[in-house]
Amino acid sequence: MQDETVDPELLMLPEPPRGRRVLTLVMMALVVVLAATLALSLRHEISFFFSDPQTIELGDVTELDPADLRSNSMVRVEGTPMLSRAIRYRRVLTGAEHVLFPLAGQRTVYVQVDAQGDLARHEFSGRLVTFGQLGGRVGAAARYLDRDMGLPVTSESFLLMADEGPGSSAWAVLLALLCLLAIVVDVVLFFRWFRPIKDPAFAVEPAEA
């Protein structure tokens, strides 16, 4: 016997289109994957934000052993800028302009400074990181140095981002938190959308024989 409290017209409504539900599920899964991928790509920036802010004195760059260099750390190094091999580039997102150049006597450590800063100095301190860990942020500049200027820049080469401390990576932490929030909201909406209705008012009792 059918419950008289249930509106018969509600029971006659068609079910939601199956294709639309599948498309919604795919889109929600895609959001989770993209947010997780973006958050994972920020792992080096986040690690640097929480790293030890103490600066490591490396001394003269020509006397460095690449095996002793620790990526994603604060360092200070001395060296002569090779401005004849310098390139100038602008970051797309921030619009900030930088100059990138090698230091004389070696081809392991490169330096990036603000275009408005002092380019003639011989001491640089900031974040030491590999080109590979920076990904696309300096990818075009690295390819230009390697292809057009004949410098042996690889993903394992080091870049000293002058005057940048752990606080400069705060944006990555905020962006990762936004990605995490998007994932949580998406998962909650998924379970709310696809969970079965438990309201007894909408339950249909089996017909009596």
Radius of gyration of the chain (CA): 28
- Please indicate whether residue 18 or residue 174 has the higher confidence score (pLDDT): 174
Displacement of CA 208 from its chain's centroid (Å): 61
- pLDDT over threshold 90, residue 39: yes
Q: What is the DSSP letter of 144?
A: H
- The DSSP bridge partners found for residue 98 are 89, 114
Confidence bin at 201 (pLDDT 50/70/90): low
Average pLDDT over residues 184-196: 80
| Mean pLDDT calculated for residue range 132-136 | 86
Nearest to 26 by CA among 190, 196, 191, 185: 190
Is the pLDDT reported for residue 97 higher than 80?
yes
State what percent of residues in the chain have pLDDT above 90: 50
**Exposure of 20 in the CB half-sphere (CA atoms within 13 A):** 4
Q: How confident is the model at residue 1 (pLDDT cuts 50, 70, 90)?
A: very low
Q: State the pLDDT at residue 49.
A: 95
pLDDT band at 68 (very low <50, low <70, confident <90, very high): confident
Residue 91 has pLDDT above 80, yes or no: no
Between CA 144 and CA 151 the distance in angstroms is 9
Which is nearest to 79 in space by CA: 98, 99, 59, 65? Answer: 59
Q: Is residue 182's pLDDT more than 80? A: yes
Nearest to 138 by CA among 91, 175, 103: 91
Nearest C-alpha neighbor of 130 from the set 44, 20, 25: 44
Mean pLDDT for the chain? 84
Angle at 62 between CA 58 and CA 66, to 5 degrees: 65
Q: What is the DSSP string of 27-74?
A: HHHHHHHHHHHHHHHTHHHHHHHTS--PPEEEEEGGG--GGG--SSEE
CA separation for the pair 71, 81 (Å, rounded): 21
For residues 136 and 152, the model is more confident at 152
